[in-house]
Amino acid sequence: MVLLRSSLFLIYFMAATVIIYLAAFPALVLPRHLMVHASRLWSRAILFGLKHIANLDYEVRGEVPKTPVLIASKHMSMWDTMALYLLVWDPAVVLKRELLYVPFYGWYIAKARVIAIDRGAHASALRRMAVAAKNALAHGRPILIFPEGTRKKPGAAPDYKPGVAGLYSLLGVPCVPVALNSGLFWTGPMGFIKKPGRVVVEFLEAIPAGMNRADFLRLLVARIETATARLVAEARQAH
């Protein structure tokens, strides 16, 4: 049944993506907020399909940030980027520059004004990221970053990059850690398998601005990893 539901969802995912991407094409030359609404519509459509086809729902815990802050999230699956973009209003998402070159998808995220970084540029990449992030914050947009830089399976050893601490230090705003357990449900080769259940995403207590980089990074890792382990254990026990 899981394979059947996953296959049906894949068909739905592809159809919904093609339809919304084509419908959103004129937004490339229209005001940016139209692309933001189109992106949120796509996320909403995919989460709808997950619920009604794959029997995979989600639950939000904690307080979703409504002010321009830095949001640092655990990253386990594609679900994370879609759901967080929908839950948080108009975040400036930090992602790798290569994604801008993907036809349609790259054009759309560029129009939505993501923060694209060159991972090989190191210090210069951090400076450019900080400039773009400060501009987004000035326009009332929160910054969303996945500090490990890539997806991690549940239980995998954490690998937080120092860039998140550098960005936190340069921006001077609080950081809201986010824990989740999506990797238990969006799994398998290329993320094909969608297991039934309930993804939990939890917005944790904000870390105030002003800490030194090393202390901030230790606290961030501790909060995210502790909460993530708890969410994973809860889900495994429930199933």
- pLDDT for the residue 121: 58
Interstrand relation of 175-180 and 197-203 (parallel, antiparallel or unpaired): antiparallel
Q: Is 118 helix (H, G, I), strand (E, B) or coil?
A: coil
- pLDDT for the residue 204: 98
Question: Tens-digit pLDDT profile for the chain (239 aa)?
Answer: 899 999 999 999 999 999 999 999 999 999 999 999 999 999 999 999 999 999 999 999 999 999 999 999 999 999 999 999 999 999 999 998 888 889 889 999 999 999 988 766 567 777 888 899 999 999 999 999 999 989 999 999 999 999 999 999 999 999 999 999 999 999 988 899 999 999 999 999 999 999 999 999 999 999 999 999 999 999 999 87
Report if pTM > 0.85.
Answer: yes
- Residue 95 belongs to what H/E stretch? strand 92-96
- pLDDT for the residue 122: 66
Judge whether 198 and 60 are in contact, CB under 8 Å. Answer: no
Give how far Cα 120 sits from Cα of 97, 100, 123, Å.
Answer: 10, 16, 9
Judge whether 167 and 70 are in contact, CB under 8 Å. Answer: yes
Rounded Cα distance, 181 and 75, in Å: 9
- pLDDT for the residue 126: 78
- pLDDT for the residue 125: 76
Rounded Cα distance, 74 and 51, in Å: 22
